[in-house]
Amino acid sequence: MSVAAPVTPEQFVSQDGGRLANFRLIPRIDTYPRVVAFAQTAAGKIVLLALFGLGLAYSRGQTWWALTLWLVLTTFLPDRRRMLVTIGTLFFTIPVFFLGFTHRQLYIVVLLGSVLVLGATLFWSAAHWPRSWYGRRPVFFFLSGFAVLILFASSIPETTRYYHLVWDFTAILSLYIWFIAYSLLDRKAPDCDPFGLQLGTYLPFWGSTNTPLPKGAAYLRRIEARDAGQLAVTQLKGLKLLVWSILISLFAHLFAQCVHGYLRIPTFAQALSLSVSRTPLPWYTCWASLIAGFFEIIMDFSVWGHRFVACCRMAGFNALRNTYRPLSSRTVAEFFNRFYYYYKELLVDVFFYPTFLRYFKRNGKLRLVAAIFAAACFGNAFYHFVRDLGFIQKLGLVRALVGYQVFVFYCVALATAISISRLRHRGPTPTGFIRGKLWPSFSVGVFYCLLDIFGSTERNYPLTEHFRFLAHLFNVNL
């Protein structure tokens, strides 16, 4: 929940000092005056875009050319940048532009349009009636309404005419709920963007998951490059990050080949499956599977997160990285922040702050713990439950909830650990490499590695099977 340590690379240089800490695999070209000056010229921009396009062609596959074309427009028309972001986002979102009109495509476009009209209505209503019941807490009402919609959808018999229509609408709305939530949070800002510009942040053209990357329109306004110099630095940072993403993806490929091919270590899912079928692998192989899976998740998040943020920077927005050196975290809370920054920010903005600012104001510790549980436990569980709508449709609401027990345990354990991490009395920070850095980082890594045993939202096995696997890691067979 926190940025207990700075997130920007520059600060790490100043903190750690020394040659090793200052070593960069990718040179810090954004700090070289000549390179920055060149990147501000037309020729420099073309070179930057060409290099970036090459990187995208390697890492993004088929859509690289369209994305590069849009980045050319945002680069050479900076005064129209926000409008171009909206147009680009709509262009990339609505697949009929690429695939041609079919009945199915048209049906999806109509549903998508309905969702966006709903978002616009909610935004407009919250802005125009700020003192109303809804206008005071629009995000709360919106998310509650979405939960009611899921209840309604899961109560419709499959044989009903409207069954698929309701579920399809709910599924498309579920893609946008957190984007709409950010728009609703932005409604009170004096410089709040009109809905047309808010739309540019809804699954933006540079790429995003259900979690808005990078946050909403309010954040974009504040990180947008104001002049040619800022744009050059931002784009150079974007290029660096794309190269970094490609390097990590290459390493991840080699890692997987080495671990799962040469060393024949099964994946965590395979190891868990064998444990469930009562033919467990040796405990040390289970550890190897778990640790390999942990590293693979971090690399995977880094690859796509860096790519999205790199494209966002290339479009002229100096966003922070999504994943930043999670393995150097010294506390549980810090890892949560460094591993998936924008998801943590979403939970903080939508669940943590509203709870913290309203409840238990007279008891500082209870206030903090309640807010942490609202975000890391309830918000985390809610986010994943409504994201995986397929399970609710397939299993029914009750069975989907019961099957969710493993991830609920994960959320409770995570929130408890973050609370302890934040409340624990700390004496003087231990100094030295081993006590000050290695041991805390190792402990945090082991905690998240073990927590990952319960991190599945797949609803394949009951909680007891995950505990059985955990016990087996310590050579205890239940």
Partner 1 sequence: MDHMAEIRDFLKKLLSSRGDRQPFTDTSSFFLSGRLGSVDAVELVVFLEEQFEIDFSETGFDQSQIDSIEAITSLLQSEKVG
Smaller CB separation from partner 1, 368 or 381: 368
Question: For partner 1, which residue of 72, 156, 197, 223 counts as binding (CB under 8 A)?
Answer: 223
To the nearest 10 degrees (0 to 180), the angle between helices 332-339 and 405-423 is 120
Q: Which is nearer to partner 1, 88 or 214 (CB)?
A: 214
Give the separation between CA 463 and CA 473, rounded to whole angstroms.
16
Quote the least distance from Cβ 444 to partner 1, whole Å: 16
Q: Which residues of 168-191 are buried (b: 16+ CB within 10 A; e: fewer)?
A: ebbebbbbbbbbbbbbbbbbeeee
d(CA 145, CA 401): 18
Tell whether residue 231 is a contact of partner 1 (CB under 8 A): no
Of residues 30 and 345, the one with the C-beta less far from partner 1: 345
**x/- track of binding to partner 1 for residues 419-458 (CB under 8 A):** ---x------------------------------------
Residue span 340-379 as binding mask against partner 1, x where in contact by CB under 8 A, dash where not: ----xx--x---xx--xxx--x--x---x--x--------
Q: How far is CA 406 from the centre of its chain?
A: 21
66: nearest Cα among 272, 248, 206, 250: 206
Q: Which is nearer to partner 1, 253 or 361 (CB)?
A: 361
Strand partners, 224: 317
# binding residues, partner 1 (CB under 8 A):
34
Neighbours of 84 (CB within 10 A): 22
Binding mask 179-218 for partner 1 (x = CB under 8 A): ------x--xx----------------------------x
Q: Where are the alpha helices (DSSP H) in 315-404?
A: 332-339, 341-347, 353-358, 364-372, 380-387, 389-395, 397-402
- Give the range of 9-17, 30-38, 52-60, 108-116 binding partner 1 by CB under 8 A: 9-17
Ordered DSSP codes for 411-432: HHHHHHHHHHHHHS---SPPPS
* Contact stretch for partner 1 (CB under 8 A) within 4-12, 99-107, 112-120, 149-157: 4-12
Tokens of 155: 């109560």
Query: In terms of CB distance, is 11 or 121 closer to partner 1?
Result: 11
Interacting residues with partner 1 between 316 and 335 (CB under 8 A) = 320, 333
Q: Which residues bind partner 1 (CB under 8 A)?
A: 1-8, 11, 14-15, 185, 188-189, 218-219, 222-223, 320, 333, 337, 344-345, 348, 352-353, 356-358, 361, 364, 368, 371, 422
